[in-house]
Chain A
Amino acid sequence: MTFTSLAARNILRNKLRTALTICGVAVAVITFLLLRTVLSAWTSAADFAAKDRVVTRHKITFVMQLPKRYIDQVRQMPGIKTATWANWFGGKDPKHENEFFASIAVDPGTYFEVYDEMEIPQDELDAFKADKRGVIVGDAIAKKLGWQIGQELTLESGIYAAPEGGEWKFTIRGIYTTKARSVDRSSVLFHWEYLNDGLPEARRDEIGWIVSRVGDAKQTADMGVKLDKVFDDQDVQTLSQDEASFNKSFLAGFSMVLKALNLVSLVILVIMALVMGNTIAMGVRERTSEYGTMRAIGFMPKHIVFFVLGEAMVLGLLGGLAGVGLGYPFVEKVLGRWIEENLGAFFPFFRVPPEWAVVALLLSMVEGLVAAGIPAWQASRIKVTDALRRVV
C-alpha cells in the first residue's frame, strides 16, 4: 500500500457514483472533442490551403464579377506559372432540393492544373474536356445522391436564369477524389463556356475569380500586391490574396458562429468541472470522520490534500480516457465519414485533430484538480476533534 494506491482506492468506494461521474465527464469530453472538430473542420480549408496559390477577386466583394480579359493579363505576369478562373453557379438539383453542394463553372483546360490535388482518371478528364455540357462531380456527392458517370443532370441556379426555352442540362463525365484536406469532395464542376453561352449578351464574359499558381511559394504575398497594382488603373479593381487568406475572408461571414462554438466548448469545460466538483465534494463530506481519523494518527493536511486531489485527478483521467476512447473512433470511423459524405461542402475533412484529443485528456485531469481544489482545502483545514466528533 502506498499514498497513491490509497488515493486511488477511494475511487471504488461508491462504484455507481464513480461510474456516473466518469460517464458525465466522458460525455463532456466527447462533446468538447466534437465541437473542437467542427471548428477545426470548418477552418481546415484555410489551414491546409496551398501555399503557392493566389486568388484574385473583385475588390469590393467576391460576389461581384471581373472581366474575363483579366485572366490574360494575369497569365502574362512574370512569376505566374499557371492561372485559371471560375464562377459560382449556385446550382441545385431539383430532385434533391435540400441538398447543398458547390456548383462552379470552370475552365476545363486549366482548372485541374491549378488544383492538381484533385484526382481524376485521365479518360474521364478527357471525356469531360471534350463535352461542353460535361460535369465532373466529387465522389462524396456522387455516392450520396447515387450519381453515375453518363447520367444526365439538370441544375437550377439562383444566380443564373436558365437559357431561353431550356434548362441547365449536363452529363456526368467524371468523378474526382482527393486526399487533400482543403478540397471539398461534394462539388460539381462544369464548363464555364457552357454557362457563358447560355447567358444574355450583357452578362457574358464575366468571371467570378481567378486562381493563379506562383513559381516560388515565398513570393505568393508579393505576387498578390503586384497583381492588384496591374488592375489599379483599370475599370474594375481587384483584391488578390493567398488562398488561405481568401478562404478565411470567406469564413469571416461565419465568425459569430465560430465564436459561439468556441464559447460553448468552454461552457462544456465548466460543466465538466462542476460534475466532478460535485462528486468530490460529496465524497469529502462523507469521509470527514475518516480524514479526522487519519489526521489523528499523524497524517498532515498536505496528505489529505494529496488524497483528495489524487482521487479527482484519477477520476478526471478515467473520464477523459473513456471520452477520448469512445469519441475518437466514433468521429473517425462513423460520424466523420457520414459528415464528409453528406455535409462535405461545409466540412470536407471532418477528423478529430489528434492534438485536441490529447488536450481533452489533459484538460479532464486538470479539471479534476481544479474541481477538487476547494473540497481538498476544506478537508485539510477541518479541526481533528471536529472531524472525529461525528463518530466519537
Chain B
Amino acid sequence: MSEQAESIIRLRSVTKEFERGGERLRVLENLDLDVGRGAFEALMGPSGSGKSTLLNLMAGLDRPSGGSIEIDRKRIDQMSEGELAAWRANNVGFVFQSYNLLPVLTAVENVELPLLLTPVASSERRKRAETALRVVGLQDRMQHYPRQLSGGQEQRVSIARAIVTDPILIVADEPTGDLDRKSADEILTLLETLNRTMGKTIVMVTHDPAAAERASMTRHLDKGRLKGEEAPNREPAWEAKT
C-alpha cells in the first residue's frame, strides 16, 4: 500500500493552542497523521488528551495553530470561513453524542436539512432524505419528531443526516456515549455497514473500548500526542475492496 497515495486525511506538524485564563495551553503537539480512504478509525484517550480537538480540525470546524491539514488533497487549513462552511456542507457528515437534531423538525426534515444548502430541488431533497432514512432502517419513523423517538432512533436519524449529502468523510464524536449497550451496538453496526458497504471514511472519538473494537483501527492520544498506531482491528474497507 502506498499510504501517501491512499490517504484521505493528511495532518502534518499540526499543533493547536488555546488561551485560557491568560495562559496558552497546547492541546495538540506537532502531530502527524494519515487516515486511509475507506478507513473506520477510532480515536481514544483520556479526557483533555485532545481527541475532540483533533476531530474538529479534521472536520474543518476549527483551525490549527500550526501545521497543515489536507483532506482529499485539499488544504482546509488555508480556507476562509465561508469556504470551510461550503466545504463541510459537501464533504463531511457529522454524528454527535447528543444527536443534535432540531426538535421542531420531523425525522425526514432533519435529514433534509443539509440539502437546503445544495441546489437540489425540493422534491428531490425529500426523496434523498427518505432514502437515507431507509438506509438506517427508519422508514416507518419519517414523520416522527425527535421527542417521539428513542435515543438509538435519534442517533440513526443523525447518521442519516450525516450521509444524505454523500460526504467523503463522517466524523462521529462519542456516537454511543448517550446510549444503552443494545442501542450502542446497533449504531456501531450501522457505522460498520456504512464503512464496509459504502466505503465511507469514518473517524470516531470514543471512550468505550467496545466501540473502538468495532473500528478497523484504534489510535490513542495522550497529552496532545499520538501514542503510536495499534495493529488494525480488522481489514479496512478500502483494502478489502482492492
Contact = CB atoms under 8 A, between A and B. Distances in A.
A292 B88 CA distance: 13
Interface in A157-171: none
Nearest to B53: A385
Nearest to A13: B104
B85 A293 contact: no
A391 B98 contact: yes
Which of A10, A13, A297 has most B Cβ within 10 Å?
A297
A298 interface: yes
Interface string B94-129: 101110101111000100111011000010010000
Contacts of A3: 116
Nearest to B126: A1
A240 interface: no
Contact of A297 (B81, B94, B103, B174): B94
Interface stretch (B31-39, B42-50, B55-63, B183-191): B55-63
Residues of B in contact with A, size category? 20 to 34
A383 B82 CA distance: 13
Contacts of A298: 85-86, 88-90, 114, 117
A12 interface: yes
A300 interface: yes
Interface string A373-385: 0000000000111
Which of A6, A13, A293, A295 has most B Cβ within 10 Å?
A293
Given A384-B61, A392-B174, A297 B96 contact: no
A194 to B, nearest CB: 76
Contacts of B89: 297-299
B93 to A, nearest CB: 8
A56 interface: no
B52 interface: yes
Interface string A281-309: 00000000110111111111100000000
Which of A9, A298, A301 has most B Cβ within 10 Å?
A298
Interface string A1-45: 111001001101100000000000000000000000000000000
A388 interface: yes
Nearest to A301: B81
Interface in A101-159: none
Contacts of A297: 88-89, 94, 113-114, 117, 161
B41 interface: no
B77 interface: no
Interface of B: 52, 56, 59, 61-62, 81-82, 85-86, 88-90, 94, 96-98, 100, 102-105, 109, 112-114, 116-117, 122, 125, 161, 173-174
19 contacts: A2-B116, A2-B122, A6-B116, A12-B104, A13-B103, A292-B100, A293-B94, A293-B100, A293-B102, A294-B113, A296-B94, A297-B94, A298-B114, A299-B117, A383-B62, A384-B62, A385-B56, A388-B61, A391-B100
Prevailing SS type, chain A contact patch: helix
B94 A300 contact: no
A12 B97 CA distance: 26
B97 A392 contact: yes
A299 B173 contact: no
A296 B103 contact: no
Residues of A in contact with B, size category? 20 to 34
Contact of B61 (A13, A290, A294, A385): A385
A25 to B, nearest CB: 21
Given A1-B109, A297-B94, A300-B85, A385 B114 contact: no
A4 to B, nearest CB: 11
Given A6-B116, A297-B89, A298-B117, 8 more contacts: A2-B122, A293-B94, A298-B85, A298-B90, A298-B114, A299-B89, A301-B81, A383-B62
Which of A12, A289, A383, A388 has most B Cβ within 10 Å?
A388
B112 A9 contact: no
Contact of B96 (A9, A300, A385, A392): A392
B193 to A, nearest CB: 22
Contacts of A289: 98, 100
B119 to A, nearest CB: 13
Contacts of B161: 297
A388 B96 contact: yes
A249 B124 CA distance: 69
B180 to A, nearest CB: 19
B172 to A, nearest CB: 11
Given A1-B109, A1-B116, A295 B103 contact: no
| The 10 nearest A-B residue pairs measured at CB | A298-B89, A293-B100, A391-B98, A9-B104, A297-B114, A298-B88, A298-B117, A300-B85, A384-B61, A1-B109
Interface in A363-378: none
Nearest to B88: A298
A38 B213 CA distance: 76
Contacts of A391: 96-98, 100
A290 B109 contact: no
B104 A10 contact: yes
Contacts of B103: 13
A58 B6 CA distance: 102
Contacts of B98: 289, 391-392
Contact of A296 (B61, B82, B122): B61
Contacts of A301: 81
Contacts of A296: 59, 61, 88, 94
A3 B82 CA distance: 18
Nearest to B101: A293
Contacts of B116: 1-3, 6
